Amino acid sequence: MPDVFSICLMCTVRCPIRVRVEKDDVRLIEGNPYMEGIEGSICPKGAAGVSLLGDVQRLKNPLIRTGPRGTGMWREASWEEALDYVVERLHQIREKYGSQSIALTERTHLNSHISKTFLRALGSPNYFTHNSCCKGSLNTAFRSLTGYTDDQFGVDLKNVRYLVLYGRNYFESLELKAVKTLTRSLENGARLVYIDPRVSVTATRAHRYLMIRPGTDLALNYALMHVLINEGLYDREFVERWVAGFEALAEFVQPYTPQWAEQETGIKAAEIAELAREAAAARPRVIFHYGYRCAHYTSEIYLRRSILMLNALLGSIECPGGLFIKKTVRDVGRSPLRRLTGQELPAVKIPRCDGAAGELYPVADPEHGVVQELPRVIKEEKPYPVKGLLVWRHDPVMSIPDSQYTKEAFNNLDLLVAIDIQFSETAWLADVILPESTYLERGDSIQEVGGLKPMLVMRQPAVSPRYNTRPGWQIIKELADRLGIGQYFPYRTLEDLWNYQLEGTGISISDFARCGYVTLADQAIFQDRKDGLKFKTPSGKIEFVSSLLEKNGFPSLPPYEAVPPAPAGFYRLMVGRAAVHTHVSTQNNALLSEQLPENTLWINSAEAARLGIRDGQMVEVTSGCGQVRLKAQVTDHIHPEAVFMLHGFGHTVPAQTRSYGRGGSDAVLQENVSDRVGGSPALQHVFVTVRPL
């Protein structure tokens, strides 16, 4: 059986895999057995990748819409016709409204340097990724403190002794390597603290579980800092050398005693103090995990900053068992992979339409944009019209709060193009669908993986495309050729693309043959904590008082403000993920839909009894934006102020029969309200009522 080493794409974690192939068919997908930390393991979603290939409900040909949006009236078209159609419309839009009226949004992927180049070459600043909806405020928090983005940092779970997770539900919201490493560390005596208003699977693995009142983690953190500072438990040496603004923090946290935080969080003052002391005893091999999402309120930036500041106070930065700055190809003295974005491209002078790095979101990352602003821009045509939208591996209708609004906004587009592998909610509204080959049928740009030991990993096609589909990098190239910007895409084949990337690195395609990746260091690389740490802030230190924030008019340490309490009769809506599904994209997978066909509404037993709701009964959940119906899951394992549902269900595309109408969508209920500093939508800002049916 020939083996093909590649990279999984059933979610975005991109685990290295080995695909066992027989007669151009996939027999088995397993984790790459050679890769340290993976050793052959795969998660349920990764294994279910086999069912993508032969799925009769996948996209098989380019499609052009023939009826009103959303009615499912399509005709099949040849690639030539579909691409010509898109290009003709793009020309019309550019002529009428200017280049800036074309936007592209995608879930960042290995070919993002290609899509970015495409937009730049077209003359539009409006390139977006999903990032703001995932961890935009975390990104801003990192930049405000260290000058690095969150992507440039990692956590050393292998050597950690004390790990604190704020709703970072590792054992369900999976990263395979992390789960395996963490499991081993726990077996070897590491302690786990888990904080969540809901008992997730990770909570059941914790040594200390804290059922915190929803949205109050920041109060807990200020009290933890209070104890660490007032009891002199912090790492004085590290703080003196590497922190700017410690005195300001020390003064700032004085009112925030554990007794004060008990009122806010519902966690006993004594337990808060104990947590601080335990963590300090394990320093520097302590991680307060900065997570991805957790609370998602309008003040999220300050929660993320507080978590990072706790690590800095304990000196758990750039050391074994702590946070580390990811090392790149440059750190091992090699040239980085070439990217198309490295070419001389036309300068784009028009400001972004979403206000990232502008007036609306002065410190949000313009490299990713604030994608949840896009529906408003499209609908209101302010600051200018955006009339053409390309969506590549992204489903904004389900991944941006307030689906109804997003759908209405998309009605105002002259051209909506979806590049997907199946009918997403967004594709269903598109004018043209360009079907991409699945990750098992295509290769992509080589991935540079930063870490303690940097490496390069390759996605290679395992089998030939089953239908009339193409890789995304080819689709963009063909559009570019037709638009007269083909010179910025100097490749024809996958090998051309790989060779372009590898030029000057001293590595060749054949180096990937043995196991699909190339390691660039034998030993973990750390910077010198005594004198050699390289923070990219103006002070060269971790900035508790942040130049980035202050110069843009935002305070570094604003007084604590509680999240708005739920009005009587309302609940806070919390959301999260399950181990067997990826966001909004696997609910129609033939294997995974059997494992978990629908979501439920978790509701506290006492509240359910008050409302007359039985376990398993259908309920109606209503917010100011919309309404969904799903089954109740009555449980003691959730805080009485909140209800919870899994994200990703409640699909409305009839052609996707396994997910159609199953469960409810959180995005229908959520309001599109953002953290104006950090740039993320406050997904859990919304309150809902629940009624038995």
Ligand X SMILES: Nc1nc2c(c(=O)[nH]1)N[C@H]1C(S)=C(S)[C@@H](COP(=O)(O)OP(=O)(O)OC[C@H]3O[C@@H](n4cnc5c(=O)[nH]c(N)nc54)[C@H](O)[C@@H]3O)O[C@H]1N2
Single out the segment in contact with ligand SF4 by CB under 6 A; choices: 42-50, 162-170, 210-218, 319-327.
42-50
Residue 8 or 613 having the CB closest to ligand SF4:
8
Closest CB 278 distance from ligand X, rounded Å:
18
Tell me the β-bridge partners of 210: 195
Which residue in the block uniquely carries the two structure tokens 């550019």? Answer: 94
Which phi and psi angles does 495 have, rounded to 5°?
-65, -40
Instruction: Give contact residues for Mo ion (rule: CB under 5 A).
Output: 134
Per-residue x/- mask for ligand SF4, residues 120 to 159, rule CB under 6 A? ----------------------------------------
Closest CB 90 distance from ligand SF4, rounded Å:
33
Is 684 within 8 Å of 212 (Cβ atoms)? no
Closest CB 441 distance from Mo ion, rounded Å:
25
* Residue 15, binding choice from ligand SF4, Mo ion, ligand X, none, Cβ under 5 to 8 Å by partner class: ligand SF4
Single out the segment in contact with ligand SF4 by CB under 6 A; choices: 3-11, 182-190, 261-269, 648-656.
3-11
Interaction of residue 575 with ligand SF4, rule CB under 6 A: no
Instruction: Residue 159: count other Cβ atoms within 10 Å of its Cβ.
Output: 16
Rounded to the nearest 5 degrees, what angle is found at the Cα of 348, between the Cα atoms of 343 and 352? 125
Residue 46 or 62 having the CB closest to ligand SF4:
46
Closest CB 376 distance from ligand X, rounded Å:
16
d(CA 21, CA 18): 9
Closest CB 293 distance from Mo ion, rounded Å:
7
Instruction: Residue 84: count other Cβ atoms within 10 Å of its Cβ.
Output: 14
d(CA 354, CA 587): 31
* Residue 392, binding choice from ligand SF4, Mo ion, ligand X, none, Cβ under 5 to 8 Å by partner class: ligand X
Closest CB 575 distance from ligand SF4, rounded Å:
19
Cα–Cα distances in angstroms (integers) from residue 414 to residues 77, 223, 498, in the given order: 19, 52, 35
* Residue 161, binding choice from ligand X, Mo ion, ligand SF4, none, Cβ under 5 to 8 Å by partner class: none
Interaction of residue 42 with ligand SF4, rule CB under 6 A: yes
Interaction of residue 294 with ligand SF4, rule CB under 6 A: no
Residue 583 or 658 having the CB closest to Mo ion:
583
Closest CB 38 distance from ligand SF4, rounded Å:
9
Question: How, if at all, do strands 432-435 and 208-210 pair?
Answer: unpaired
Is 340 within 8 Å of 113 (Cβ atoms)? yes
CA-based nearest residue to 59, from 431, 419, 398: 419
* Residue 548, binding choice from ligand X, ligand SF4, Mo ion, none, Cβ under 5 to 8 Å by partner class: none
Is 312 within 8 Å of 242 (Cβ atoms)? yes
Report the SS3 class of residue 80: helix
* Chosen residue from 13, 312, 317, 677 binding ligand SF4 by CB under 6 A: 13
DSSP summary character for residue 303: H
Cα–Cα distances in angstroms (integers) from residue 335 to residues 327, 409, 501, in the given order: 13, 44, 10
Interaction of residue 45 with ligand SF4, rule CB under 6 A: yes
Residue 169 or 633 having the CB closest to ligand X:
169
Helix (H) or strand (E) run with residue 138 in it: helix 131-146
Closest CB 619 distance from ligand X, rounded Å:
19
* Residue 176, binding choice from ligand SF4, Mo ion, ligand X, none, Cβ under 5 to 8 Å by partner class: ligand SF4
Which residue in the block uniquely carries the two structure tokens 């495409």? Answer: 118
Rounded to the nearest 5 degrees, what angle is found at the Cα of 648, between the Cα atoms of 415 and 47? 105
Closest CB 28 distance from ligand SF4, rounded Å:
13
* Chosen residue from 4, 5, 6, 14 binding ligand SF4 by CB under 6 A: 14
Interaction of residue 407 with ligand SF4, rule CB under 6 A: no
Both tokens of 140, joined, read 């801003």
Q: Where are the beta strands (DSSP E) in 12-169?
A: 16-22, 25-31, 63-65, 74-76, 102-106, 127-129, 153-155, 162-166
Instruction: Give contact residues for ligand X (rule: CB under 6 A).
Output: 9, 11-12, 107, 130, 133-134, 166-169, 173-175, 195-198, 200, 212, 214-215, 217, 291-295, 392-395, 399, 401, 419-422, 424, 436, 438-439, 472, 574-577, 579, 581-585, 644, 647, 666-667, 670, 683-684
Number of residues that bind ligand SF4 (CB under 6 A): 12
Per-residue x/- mask for ligand SF4, residues 174 to 203, rule CB under 6 A? x-x---------------------------
Residue 373 or 420 having the CB closest to ligand X:
420
Report the SS3 class of residue 481: helix
Which phi and psi angles does 346 have, rounded to 5°?
-60, 140
d(CA 419, CA 479): 12
Sheet of 447-449: strand order equals 447-449, 455-457, 517-519
DSSP summary character for residue 341: G
Helix (H) or strand (E) run with residue 278 in it: helix 269-281
Residue 94 or 109 having the CB closest to Mo ion:
109
Closest residue to bound ligand SF4 by CB: 46
List interacting residues with ligand SF4 (CB under 6 A).
Answer: 8, 10-11, 13-15, 42-43, 45-46, 174, 176
